Amino acid sequence: MSQCPITYASCSPEKYSQQGLKKLNRGLSLLLPFDASKIMHSSDSGISNAVWPFASALGRVNARRQSMEPVRHKGKFFLFPPSKQYAQIPQNLDLSLRLAQCLGLPVPFHGLIHDEDGTMTCFVELPATVQCLHQISARHEQENSLEFLVARIEESCTFPVLEKYKLFQRVLFSWLTGFETQDISCFAFQKVAHKVELAQASLFFNSILPLGTSEREFGLSVGGKKRGFSASDFREIIARDLLGLNAETVEFLISGFQKNYLPCRELVMESFLSEDLKEQYLDVIVGRLSRLNA
């Protein structure tokens, strides 16, 4: 039975459901296979190579040709093609974004498209307010830390308490799903209706699957610590001391992640990852949930 890679709905015998095609572009009645070889070796999306050490580009739908096309300027989507060296990178990215959405994090419209050679490419919609984004950058290694990011939130955001809650949610999710290549450049501010806030993430990814464990467990250090985070680190050092969140708020968020494990597991099993990588992905989540419960 065919499964639409955009909506995950059944679409047999077609490659895509009509709902999925219309979500991608109203002018589509079909979508021709994508030539991923055009971007297999390029990094034209502007995403840091440290965060995403694979090929990427910008793209947009050509409704007249019923196709997705890579472009250098004025793209509507980030495009993430397969890697020759690492297995199922696009499927990993797509699943990670769906898991984030399942756990209540805002994410952009995204999905997978079929390639000419039978592989898949992931697309992620660029934010409509991209011209309003101010990406956060670190000049020194010590600025690639949660403390530096919190200080920027306090000085820049209209309602820093709200943004700190969103930051904790995002950091906890990145840690649970193994997004270890994340760094300070993954965070940005946007201005919406005179309010400066933390922009939603355009990228979540289990980097442990293709790259193994790194020196940082969620990409940012805390008090100089990079690995071996425990439940008390999240509840006390990060949430209470650094972010100033009250215990009830923290427990509400953590328990929500714990209670939603089964829906997340179902989503992993429905994903386009191979059976072996599904199990590896779940092993990361289960292992870190057990540390969070300790």
Q: What is the CATH number of the domain that holds 262?
A: 1.10.1070.20
Supply 144's token pair: 């690639």
Is residue 230 domain-shared with residue 189, that is, in the same domain?
A: yes
Is residue 116 domain-shared with residue 205, that is, in the same domain?
A: no
Report whether pLDDT(131) > 50. no
pLDDT at 100: 97
Residue 224 one-letter amino acid: G
- Whether the CB-CB separation of 104 and 284 falls below 8 Å is answered with no
Give the pLDDT band of residue 134 (cuts 50, 70, 90). low
Is residue 111 domain-shared with residue 186, that is, in the same domain?
A: no
Report whether pLDDT(130) > 80. no
Is residue 217 domain-shared with residue 107, that is, in the same domain?
A: no
Report whether pLDDT(110) > 90. yes
Report whether pLDDT(250) > 50. yes
Beta strands in the chain (DSSP E): 57-62, 67-71, 77-80, 110-114, 120-125, 134-135, 188-192, 195-198
Final residue before a domain boundary, out of 125, 159, 178: 125
Is residue 245 domain-shared with residue 157, that is, in the same domain?
A: yes
Mean pLDDT of all residues in 3-21: 94
Burial-class residue 125 by CB neighbours within 10 Å (0-12, 13-18, 19+): middle
Distance CA 226, CA 191 (A): 31
Which domain covers residue 120, as residue numbers? 18-125
- Whether the CB-CB separation of 70 and 35 falls below 8 Å is answered with no
Is residue 77 domain-shared with residue 149, that is, in the same domain?
A: no
Is residue 47 domain-shared with residue 113, that is, in the same domain?
A: yes
**Domain for residue 238, yes or no?**
yes
Is residue 167 domain-shared with residue 287, that is, in the same domain?
A: yes
Is residue 145 domain-shared with residue 275, that is, in the same domain?
A: yes
pLDDT at 136: 74
Final residue before a domain boundary, out of 68, 93, 125: 125
**Domain for residue 131, yes or no?**
no
Give the pLDDT band of residue 96 (cuts 50, 70, 90). very high
As for how many domains the chain has, the answer is 2
pLDDT at 138: 65
**Domain for residue 55, yes or no?**
yes
Is residue 219 domain-shared with residue 103, that is, in the same domain?
A: no
Distance CA 200, CA 153 (A): 14
**Domain for residue 149, yes or no?**
yes
Can you say how many angstroms the Cα of residue 193 is from the centroid of all Cα atoms in its chain?
25
Report whether pLDDT(132) > 70. no
Is residue 107 domain-shared with residue 194, that is, in the same domain?
A: no
**Domain for residue 8, yes or no?**
no
Report whether pLDDT(52) > 80. yes
Three-class SS of residue 290? helix
Is residue 193 domain-shared with residue 258, that is, in the same domain?
A: yes
